[in-house]
Amino acid sequence: MSVQDILSAENELTHMLGAQQAVVLSTRIRLARNLDGMPFPGWAKAPQRKEIAERCVEALNQLPKFRRGHVLRMGELTDLDRAVLVERHLVSKELASGKFGAAVISKDQTCSVMINEEDHLRIQVVKAGWHLRGTWNIAEQLDDALGPNLKFAFSEKLGYLTACPTNVGTGLRASAMVHLPGLCLAGHMEKVSRALSQDGLAVRGWLGEGTEAAGNIFQISNQQTLGLSEDAILRHLGGWIKNVVEQEWNARRKLATEEGDKFVDRLSRSLGVLRYARLLTSAESMNMLSHLRLACDMGCLPEERRHIVDRLMIEGQPAHVQMRQGGELDSDGRDLRRASVVREALRDFPELGPPTA
């Protein structure tokens, strides 16, 4: 299986196979686990990392979820292959930059397991829309299924042992990818981020830690795992996501009411540029596609067009553009190709109407 196979396959984040929602793009559960008696990847020698990878891949291949999936070893991939996996949120930048890491990815791309990143295993489940408990249930089932074959490092006092102290305990990171153009346009995002941070939640950009919020998209996740149960972590995050979604809708409706025609004009201008531009940078594309997604959410565009916008947000990323073209491109080449893809996808989009949501 190749990265090109992953790019060509349909999945619920790019082909409307999942339950898309207006504000929450996706829900993610990640579990950090390590093999008992083996040094953490950062301290392990090359033969040990190889042994860890083989043991983990063998165990994962026995699970029904991964039997028709993909096994990708980072050392065998091109730079472009690895960049595509990062842009798809299937692996982290840290895993992609190493030689001894691997990823096992389910056929539908909802489940992926990173091997030899910071920990021996990072079990990840991602579902379109807001499905915190359902996503957790899948991750928990995978964790339980791996237990008999892979004995995890566990302390009765501390819980699951991890390379980073912030993950010790449950090893659980729960997060939501949220689209917040209303709060950003209203100038409230900094206040919201501060409130989340003060209550133990992290707010990151589109591609996670250390990245900017391209297209008004943010990742909100828990930070603490030690001393908290899985249920407490999920309830805490769930309560805040509900709060943020309500604030976002209030900001959107207030903008639409106060700006009137100017609100629709702002979104229409983005559609005009996207439909006719000959060159589009990644940042330009993301920010204007954010306006189109907002238009779909607010009833200015048909809601069924939203999945096209979501697909373009992912497939307009630099590595995706180059992979579709068949090889590496310089900056101008990427911008030219991206604009062409966007123009074709939006060719039949209608004019915007007044908001109805």
Closest CA to 282 of 210, 219, 203, 342: 342
Residue 188 is encoded by which pair of tokens? 């409230």
Residue 223's closest CA among 30, 26, 25? 30
Query: What is the crossing angle of helices 306-315 and 318-325, to 10°?
Result: 90
Integer Cα distance of 261 and 179 in angstroms: 23
Q: Look at the block and give the residue holding tokens 């604009």.
A: 339
- pTM of this structure: 0.93
Give per-residue burial for 141-157: e unless 16+ CB within 10 Å, then b. ebbebbeeebebbeeee
- Enter the DSSP assignment of 298: T
Would you list the domain boundaries of the chain? Answer: 3-251, 260-345
Between CA 340 and CA 329 the distance in angstroms is 14
CATH code linked to domain 3-251: 3.30.590.10
CA Rg value for the chain? 21
* Element containing residue 13 per DSSP (H, E): none
Whole-number percent of the chain with pLDDT over 90: 86
Average of per-residue pLDDT values in the chain: 93
The pLDDT value recorded for residue 4 is 83
User: What CA–CA distance (Å, rounded) separates 193 from 95?
Assistant: 27
Amino acid sitting at position 244: V
What number of other Cβ atoms are within 10 A of residue 247's Cβ? Answer: 20
Answer yes or no: are the C-beta atoms of 339 and 280 closer than 8 Å.
Answer: yes
Amino acid 207: pLDDT: 67
- What is the spatial distance between Cα 134 and Cα 293, in angstroms, rounded to a whole number? 25
**Mean pLDDT per 10-residue section of the chain, whose length is 357 residues:** 77 59 94 97 94 96 92 95 95 92 95 97 96 97 93 94 93 97 96 96 79 86 91 98 98 96 97 98 97 97 94 95 92 97 97 94
Looking at residue 21, its pLDDT comes to: 83
pLDDT score for 13: 66
Confidence at residue 6, expressed as pLDDT on a 0 to 100 scale: 81
Instruction: Tell the burial category of 75 from Cβ atoms under 10 Å away from its Cβ (0-12, 13-18, 19+).
Output: exposed
- Cβ-based neighbour number of residue 338 at 10 Å: 28
Residues in the chain: 357
Per-residue confidence (pLDDT) for residue 333, from 0 to 100 = 97
Instruction: Give the CA angle between residues 143, 148, 152 to the nearest 5°.
Output: 60
Q: Which residue has the tokens 């153009």?
A: 181
Of 143, 2, 121, nearest to 57 by C-alpha is 121
94 alpha-carbon distance from chain centroid: 15
Question: What pLDDT score does 152 carry?
Answer: 97
C-alpha triplet 85, 86, 91: angle, nearest 5° = 80
User: Could you tell me the two tokens for 118?
Assistant: 């910071």
Q: How far is CA 19 from CA 23, 101, 129, 306, 357, in A?
A: 12, 32, 6, 12, 19
Task: Write down the pLDDT at residue 17.
Answer: 46
pLDDT of residue 357: 86
Whole-angstrom Cα distance, residue 123 to residue 204? Answer: 20
- CA 337 to chain CA centroid, Å, is 24
